[in-house]
Chains A and B, each alone.
Chain A
């Protein structure tokens, strides 16, 4: 809502108050002022000129040489506007003038002819093109003949004004009108209001003799008021009215349309003007549209209506979409002499639905949707009639044609001052409260320890005691509220075990060298299931903004890979990222997808880079595997952790494993498939993803200390020759199972596959540690245990000791 402070001052006294300070006061007490706009934009030296003579430039077709009386002199100005003409009163920017955008006007020569200034269009004075009246959209603006040469043009055009731009929240639709803002400002400043006048002489004829009215949809349209005005002269509105409309962001058209828009801005009550003669039937019938019924609206669009859209008809066909836009067939035009002014109450929901279906929002629909003040329906109609009489020479027929079943009873709110003070933590006196209610013009009474308040119908947001708490607080001042802390039973706060573990997972991964990434949950349908740990239906948006963001992800890996590509393309040597986030699996009984928290990581590039000491290493499978092993150790699951070769679409078939805890699959790890790497322009990249929720929710044994033994352990190394395909993990498992209770640790310390080996064979070396916490082991005991291991290896894996 754009509020002209000059216009506002007609209804409430703001004298002596700088508009900026006024804006600040309004902001602090309830309605945010987004901007304070100076319409003059620093303009100077812009005056009224009288074109005494206007001839074509001998050297240039499109230029005119004008002799312009600018008060102190008559001076020559070259003008290129097509509509400039002798006798016009125009806007002249004199040499030395500054126009919006810092444009400076200087004396100049155009094709040999001197030009002392510029004749201006409204656009050149900083008015948006969409607001300039159509007649002057392509040329200079012509002032009324009454303008005096030499006087400043800015006040004439209302450009010596400051606009407050209000950012209205949906509850404050009462401030969608100048009067509404005036009520608010009056309350803030403790100033009284002046109301607009509606005074005219009624004709002897009665409106009801001219027009029949019937409402067939009383729920959607509980109140309809029509006034008939005869003998109107369609012409340009007076300048003051035009510039007020432009200041409010409305384009002037002609006096009748401008008056309806002016009253809309003044009262917040949308009005519509029909050409009475073009209605043809002397009848208005308001009803729901027939499904598929058509109407051409004022913007020349043919619109197809639905059966829940409310229309105004002439008894035969629609002449307007109620509360949204008028029809072209009944539009006021230059030859109109009799107009019907509609002022109605259309139900918000109905207008909202129609406006949404027709994809058509207007100043009118915006106000109806939020609910207009029932008490202003008649007031606005009377005000419009009065202005039509005054500015269009109209003859207002007696009375109105009315259907009124609208409940205008104010809402009663009963609240005790104690309740207000308890909610605020304050001690505001009853006198202060009633004084605030008086300023707000809320009809109220204090009795038996309660305040009985009739909320004004213009303030439809006031319904319950809490609303009164807010009114009192905002007018009393939020700065006055003291600062306290809740008084309550003291209870420790904290993280759940899951949340605490998740933080430790993050800290661990970051300690291991990974940065935390956060990527989008929405992805393309194609990517949504890639690398998913489980097969589940996808969750798609009904109306995505793009295919790229249409479906909820089932794996974190694809977007992490995007991040690797992004960073690699920007010369990152190493990319090591992890993400903790939800994936969205199918649909559960509740209708919601199952959200599972996952952990994923990607690594690419260099892992160790300390080259001057000769340490340099690229990432590989085992770097990432080691990180997972360390993580499981941190979480107390290392004993249950196994890796098994697996095949996953998009990953290298020979370098992929599923991650299992106690035999249950909880994740995957692998190298990105070389062909995928190529597509993404990546070098070797390793990825992993875990069902973090499952891991963190898994039970862990209580931590219990094992005494540190006084007795030494005995270590035996073995080098085994086995088939190349034999998995080291299998050998390790055989050793662990056959080693008996004395075998405490197995450590793989060498792997050799090369020329020195028989083809198809490899050598794997383990270090075995035997140990008894109670005593020193004898050689014999160790030999016995060790022999069992060797035997098991030979039998189960065909392993031979390397010679």
Chain B
């Protein structure tokens, strides 16, 4: 019986060694160690042995059984590991294949510029005011110190709907309307919107374009406040290193009136094609609110003063992003629009 046991053991070990996968090995386990296997049979057959041999034989069978089990388990671990490896190999993918696109659109570049400006001024306590695009001559011109027949009206050839109604030529009528509504109280607003002028569309002109204006009215608002505010704006929009300079200009609704240049963000002031070799770029018009404008809206120009400024998001976008033709903003070419996808903050 001992010899039989030895032979069984050799056989089992050989088959374990020969097993090539988990299934074959499991078959070996069932065949040799299972309830119907030869080792169990041997144990069952121990009843026939003399009583004194039984413990010895039992111990021997158990040793063989443990030995076989141990080898089998080791082999099993190996085969399982190989199986997992094979599985992983089979499941491996080409990670360089393209991912499933998440298609998103984006803001129009003008909206991008407008919102950036809005947010900057909101952080300084401004509100956003809006108004109609079709306006009364009164708000578009007269309330802004541009009476009928004023020579400065030539500066803005307009689209009239009737004698008294026109497409607004600037967003300033929103200022006039806000002043009228606020009845003499302080104001701090930004007015973005579409405006219209009688221009033939070309690379630098558009009969429709956007404007952003700002208006602050309060006690003792000074020109230095305007300069400081514009400097904050220039640095935020065009970089911390920007310097500003004011040049005298003329707008009927402000006195004094100025134009603001910023130091060229491309060359830093040494002169390049962006700044036309001057080192400076004209960005916006501004000034102290004309007393006639204040008085017409019911403000006491002796007690209150204010400043206003206005700029064109098209011009800012053209400068910032190097856009060479204003018509791109209104063609809505997806190849143009989609270039304004990434964030800049």
Contacts and interface: CB of A to CB of B under 8 A. Distances in A.
Contact of B255 (A467, A495, A595, A612): A467
B154 to A, nearest CB: 7
B282 to A, nearest CB: 10
A479 to B, nearest CB: 6
Interface in A441-495: 464, 466-467, 469-470, 473-474, 478-479, 481-495
A484 B222 contact: yes
A518 B113 CA distance: 14
Nearest to A421: B222
A258 to B, nearest CB: 28
Contact of B133 (A466, A521, A615): A521
Contact of A539 (B105, B111, B161): B161
Interface string B150-170: 011011000111101101000
A563 B330 CA distance: 9
A363 interface: no
A495 B149 CA distance: 38
Contacts of B245: 478-479
> How would you classify the secondary structure of chain A's contact residues: helix, strand, loop or mixed?
mixed
A476 B196 CA distance: 37
A567 B188 contact: no
B182 interface: no
Contact of B100 (A479, A545, A613): A613
A522 interface: yes
A513 B341 CA distance: 11
Contacts of B103: 513, 574
Interface in A145-203: 169-172
Nearest to A348: B151
B58 interface: no
A27 B247 CA distance: 7
Interface stretch (A76-84, A324-332, A575-583, A711-719): A575-583
A520 B208 contact: yes
B115 to A, nearest CB: 7
A422 B218 CA distance: 13
Interface in B241-275: 245-250, 255-258
B127 interface: yes
Interface in A407-428: 422-426
Contacts of B194: 521, 581-582
A473 B160 contact: no
Nearest to B101: A610
A29 B248 contact: yes
B100 A170 contact: no
A486 B216 contact: yes
A492 B125 contact: yes
A352 B147 CA distance: 14
A515 B257 contact: no
A42 interface: no
Contacts of A485: 124, 225, 228-229, 232
A425 B307 CA distance: 12
Contacts of A169: 249-250
Nearest to B301: A466
B258 A478 contact: yes
A121 to B, nearest CB: 32
Interface in B120-138: 121-128, 130, 132-136
A83 to B, nearest CB: 41
Contacts of B247: 27-28, 32, 478
Given A464-B291, A570-B335, A170 B248 contact: no
B337 interface: yes
Given A492-B125, A540-B161, A518 B335 contact: no
Interface in A555-591: 560, 563, 566-567, 570, 572, 574-578, 581-582, 584, 590-591
Contacts of A171: 152, 250
Interface string A590-610: 111101000000000000011
A519 B327 CA distance: 11
Contacts of A491: 125, 188
Interface stretch (A43-51, A504-512, A720-728, A780-788): A504-512
B340 to A, nearest CB: 9
A165 to B, nearest CB: 15
B207 to A, nearest CB: 7
Contacts of B296: none
B133 A582 contact: yes
- Report the interface size class on chain A: 35 or more
A510 B104 contact: yes
B249 A482 contact: no
Among A464, A518, A522, chain B packs the most CB atoms within 10 A around the CB of: A518
B72 interface: no
A539 to B, nearest CB: 6
B169 to A, nearest CB: 13
Contact of A170 (B154, B200, B255): B154
Interface in B94-126: 97-98, 100-101, 103-108, 110-111, 115, 118, 121-126
Q: Which of A490, A516, A612 counts the most B-chain CB atoms under 10 A from its CB?
A: A516
A522 B197 CA distance: 12
B227 interface: yes
A510 B105 contact: yes
Given A170-B155, A488-B186, A496-B128, A567 B110 contact: no
Contacts of B133: 521, 582, 584, 595
B248 A470 contact: yes
B198 interface: yes
B231 interface: yes
B338 interface: yes
A370 interface: yes
A272 B134 CA distance: 44
Contact of B122 (A495, A506, A515, A592): A495
B223 A170 contact: no
A411 to B, nearest CB: 15
A503 interface: yes
B221 interface: yes
A514 interface: yes
A513 B194 CA distance: 25
Contact of A470 (B125, B151, B256): B256
Given A483-B228, A488-B218, A522-B208, A473 B337 contact: no
A610 B101 CA distance: 7
A340 B337 CA distance: 66
B334 A572 contact: yes
Nearest to A615: B100
Nearest to B231: A483
Contacts of A495: 118, 122, 127-128
A470 B249 CA distance: 10
B124 to A, nearest CB: 7
Nearest to A545: B198
Nearest to B292: A464
Contacts of A478: 227, 245-248, 258
Nearest to A464: B291
Given A493-B124, A515-B338, A545-B200, A466 B228 contact: no
A517 interface: yes
A352 B149 contact: yes
Nearest to A611: B98
B122 A494 contact: yes
Contact of A521 (B106, B123, B125, B196): B196
B288 interface: yes
The 5 closest A-B CB pairs, nearest first, are A425-B224, A425-B222, A169-B250, A470-B256, A483-B228
5 contacts: A32-B247, A464-B291, A485-B228, A515-B108, A560-B332
Interface of B: 97-98, 100-101, 103-108, 110-111, 115, 118, 121-128, 130, 132-136, 149, 151-152, 154-155, 159-162, 164-165, 167, 186, 188, 194, 196, 198, 200, 207-208, 216, 218-225, 227-229, 231-232, 245-250, 255-258, 288, 290-291, 305, 329-335, 337-338
Given A478-B247, A495-B127, 10 more contacts: A30-B248, A369-B151, A484-B227, A487-B220, A493-B122, A494-B127, A496-B128, A503-B115, A516-B108, A612-B97
